[in-house]
Structure 1
Amino acid sequence: MTRIAIALTPHFADWECALLMAVARSYLGVEIVTASPDGRTVTSMGGLRVTPDLAHAALDPQAFDALVIPGGLAWEKGEAPDFTSLAADFKTAGKVVAGICAAASALAAAGVLNNVAHTGNSLASHKQQAGYRGEALYRDQPQAVSHAGVITAPGNSPVTFTTEILRALGLWGPEAEAELAVFSREHS
């Protein structure tokens, strides 16, 4: 069974991971495991209180197929954990690593975007990260970018973010396509 680790932060953007979690779990039989920095409850930007399954430190890349990090206000508030080792460990293990919104810049900070095509909220936000050297590979577009198992998206793109993660995990097929078509119909 495919397993996806969702690494939440305080004030995470609940809509950025909700579609992926719902489609993957409810329609495709994927096991979704949530984690917070210390394993304690976190509250999303929308006020959704999530009691995670475990702490970030307990996320073993060998036990998962993907690490997904939604964005949110933790970065703006100075409360975001450092994802450098977690993201690097998943990437080194050949697992899918995905970040949307501010979390795409967290992947930039971790150096994960230096050798893959990617996007995010803006190139300027990535360039503020000391570990970022991937400017030539940045794609300024409103849809997710997937390259070599790394998926990034600006915060306005949860549909293409979900689609690219499912594709990278080999889960894209008629059922996934049908479900995403329903949820993204207003954007057609």
Structure 2
Amino acid sequence: MTKIAVLLTQGFADWEYALIGGTGGPFYGLDVQYFSPDSGELDSQGGLRVLVSQGLAEMVEWHPKVVVVVGGTLWETEEAPDISGVLHTLHEAGTCIGGICGGTLALARAGLLDKVRHTSNDKEFLKKNAAHYDGEAHYLASASAIGADRIITAPGTAPASFTAAVFEAAGLPKEAVTQFKGMMAAEHG
């Protein structure tokens, strides 16, 4: 089974991981597990309380094919955890690193966005909240997820395209990814 690690922090955004967790395992046979820099009880933006028992060391040892850094308001504060070392270790080992909304700030702080096409909530969001962000020349304003060089980024308003890009990076067959996109778009057709 292909492994996807979902990284949650205090105040994580409920809608940004839900499609990965809710369909990845049950419908597509992916092994989706949850991790946190501070394992223990976390509360989502919507008030969901969860217990995450696995930390960053366990995530590295698990060898996921994809790591998903879920957004949340914590990433915009000085209390945001520095996960740069872990992200670099995993990316250098061949892992795809994805960040959505505030999660893109962790990738920017790690320097992972400096040389690849990427997006986020907007360019100013990255410049304001990620010290040493040096990827402005590669930023693309996009309503959908963007993937390049095993890096996936998306604004917080794009959980469906982000999930599709994560599934594609996880090696889900093209037909399955196309089917997923079709399901998500059906209500708008």
The two structures have a TM-score, normalised by structure 1, of 0.92
Q: Where does structure 1 differ by over 4 angstroms across 4 or more consecutive aligned residues?
A: none
1:152 corresponds to which residue?
A: 153
Q: Map of 1:1-188 to 2, 5 A cutoff?
A: 1-60=1-60, 63-128=63-128, 129-188=130-189
> 1:27–1:176: 8 Å Cα contact kept in structure 2?
no
> 2:7–2:67: 8 Å Cα contact kept in structure 1?
yes
- Paired amino acid for 1:162: T
Which deviates the most, 10-19 or 167-176? 167-176
Shift of 1:47: 1.2
Specify every segment of 5 or more residues in structure 2 that has no aligned partner in the other structure, as ranges: none
| Number of residues of Structure 1 aligned to a counterpart in Structure 2 | 188
* Identity within the alignment, %: 37
Specify every segment of 5 or more residues in structure 1 that has no aligned partner in the other structure, as ranges: none
Q: SS of the counterpart of 2:107?
A: helix
- Paired amino acid for 1:16: E
Alignment RMSD (CA, Å): 1.7
